[in-house]
Amino acid sequence: MATEANSCLRELTIEIPAEEVERETERVTREFARAARLPGFRPGKAPPQLVRRRFWDDIKSEVVHSLVPSSLESAFRERKLAPVGQPSIAELTFEPEQPLRFKATFEVLPEIELGDYKGLEFEPAKVELTEEDLERELEALREQAATYEPVEDRPAAEADTVVASMVGVVTEPKERRDPIRLDDVRIPLGADSTLPAFREALRGVRVGEERQFSVTYPDDYPQGDLGGRTVAFTAQVKSVQCKQLPVLDDEFAQQARLPQLAGGQVSDAKTLEELKAKLREHLEAARAQREKELTRQRLLDALLARHDFPVPEALVEEQMNARLQRQVRALVAQGIDPRRVDVDWRRAWRAGREAAIRETRLGLLLDRIAAAESLEATDEELTQEIERLAGQSQQTPEAVRARLTKEGNLDSIKHAIRSEKVIDFLLASARLSASSRG
């Protein structure tokens, strides 16, 4: 039976005959009897009926754990059902010499009826590279190379950075919680990311000065659980620093570090013009990659728009968990302890729900098209991907394959390759919209 809210949800009421239940009960009772120690009987010699009465709750639990999974598997096979996630068991009744009855609630993969997926019409993305982009990248390099000079002879100005130790107490809503303590926190007064309350409270401070002020955080504030709360801060100013940007000249060009796209290595440019040429080359590569990603996004949006079907909640939550794990791994890779990061992980998990639903629908749809078009990852393609991963991790292909096999991730790699083949297949048959041809 399916529910109205989720047509992937199914329910089965299962009854295991009394004879089968009794056979399993006798088997479990014999196992208990071998180890049972009861007064007046040698080990293993106590009568089965006495053992059953003495250990009935434990015997009952063993029988249930033995019969319920096997009966579920049989029911799934008979009905040709492929459950997703763990079934939920309810309304279980088990009495001596009676059938064992229970209700199982579970999810199944949706039946996807393919619509038109060949010849998808959409407008490919166009990303322009301008001189303003180059100037912004140069300015970003200057910001990376900026130095900070202490200011002693004047109050903090709009462009300065204030370094302070702060203690905050949540005043609204009223609740019992420990004070917020921040040591040597850097507050750039002119940055867009700095809340206006901090800028207004700390503008004009001097080293050694103490300021008291309140901050009401936006409801969607991403860090910690401060969203919607008002905090009364006491800030002790330790230093005021003035940012010094390097001059854009040949000397700067020789010391500048190229963007992360190019590996972040020190530039080998001799002149500022050479540096600009290298930056333009990297920006062009980034532009082409971004254009490719956006075009692919539009293709997949067009595909999803033609296919509407429910998705199992178990798969959605699996995607949400995977997204959160990727965030945690990214922090660990940077040497950051996720437990010490001021992030509301539960909120971050919930915030990924809509994206997880989309990814789940897309994955199921691509799998369905792959089956319809007989698209699979070949051994050669798998080997090429392993070699690519080996190059990234500076390991041998054999070591990478062994690790993926041990971790059980080899099938995930095959699945990713197959999905990419489906997307390439869809792109090859897609049609440009009229506006893009113009």
Residues 188/164, Cβ–Cβ less than 8 Å:
no
Confidence of residue 246 (pLDDT cuts 50, 70, 90): very high
Helix ranges (H only) for 12-99 are 18-35, 48-54, 56-79
Residues 129/137, Cβ–Cβ less than 8 Å:
no
Confidence of residue 227 (pLDDT cuts 50, 70, 90): confident
DSSP code string of 75-90 = HHHHHT--EEEEEEEE
For the chain, domains (ranges, CATH) are 9-108 (3.30.70.1050), 147-244 (3.10.50.40), 295-437 (1.10.3120.10)
Q: How confident is the model over 266-305, as pLDDT tens digits? A: 567 889 999 999 889 889 988 999 999 999 999 999 999 9
Q: How far apart are CA 380 and CA 326, in angstroms?
A: 28
Confidence (pLDDT) at 5: 46
- Average pLDDT over every residue of 68-85: 92
Confidence of residue 265 (pLDDT cuts 50, 70, 90): low
The sign one gets for the Cα dihedral 203, 206, 207, 213 is negative
Confidence (pLDDT) at 1: 41
- Average pLDDT over every residue of 366-384: 95
pLDDT surpasses 50 at 219: yes
pLDDT surpasses 90 at 99: yes
Q: How far apart are CA 247 and CA 227, in angstroms?
A: 40
Confidence (pLDDT) at 437: 46
Confidence (pLDDT) at 342: 67
Confidence of residue 43 (pLDDT cuts 50, 70, 90): confident
Residues 190/245, Cβ–Cβ less than 8 Å:
no
Distances (CA, A) of 192 to 189, 196, 288: 9, 9, 29
Amino acid in the structure at residue 286:
A
Residue whose tokens read 């019409």: 121
Q: How far apart are CA 91 and CA 100, in angstroms?
A: 10
Q: How confident is the model over 186-205, as pLDDT tens digits? A: 999 988 888 999 999 999 99
pLDDT surpasses 50 at 124: yes
Q: How confident is the model over 309-345, as pLDDT tens digits? A: 999 999 999 999 988 888 888 878 777 777 776 677 7
Looking at per-residue confidence, does 260 or 85 come out higher? 85
- Average pLDDT over every residue of 396-407: 92
Confidence of residue 264 (pLDDT cuts 50, 70, 90): very low
Distances (CA, A) of 294 to 123, 297, 307, 364, 427: 10, 5, 20, 21, 13
Residue whose tokens read 């901050």: 215
pLDDT surpasses 60 at 42: yes
Q: Residue 205's closest CA among 231, 239, 243?
A: 239
Which residues lie across from 354 on neighbouring strands?
none
Q: How confident is the model over 128-186, as pLDDT tens digits? A: 999 999 999 899 889 888 899 999 889 999 889 999 999 999 998 887 778 889 899 99
Percent of the chain with pLDDT over 70: 94
Confidence (pLDDT) at 267: 61
DSSP state of 1: -
Confidence of residue 435 (pLDDT cuts 50, 70, 90): low
DSSP code string of 152-206 = -SS---TT-EEEEEEEEEEEES----PPEEEEEEEEETT-TTS-HHHHHHHTT--
Confidence (pLDDT) at 432: 74
Residues 180/167, Cβ–Cβ less than 8 Å:
yes
Confidence (pLDDT) at 336: 76
Q: How far apart are CA 213 and CA 314, in angstroms?
A: 46
- Average pLDDT over every residue of 359-383: 95
- Average pLDDT over every residue of 38-52: 79
- Bond from prior residue into 173 cis (ω within 30 degrees of 0): yes
Confidence of residue 375 (pLDDT cuts 50, 70, 90): very high
Report the range out of 2-16, 48-62, 250-264, 373-387 with the highest average pLDDT. 373-387
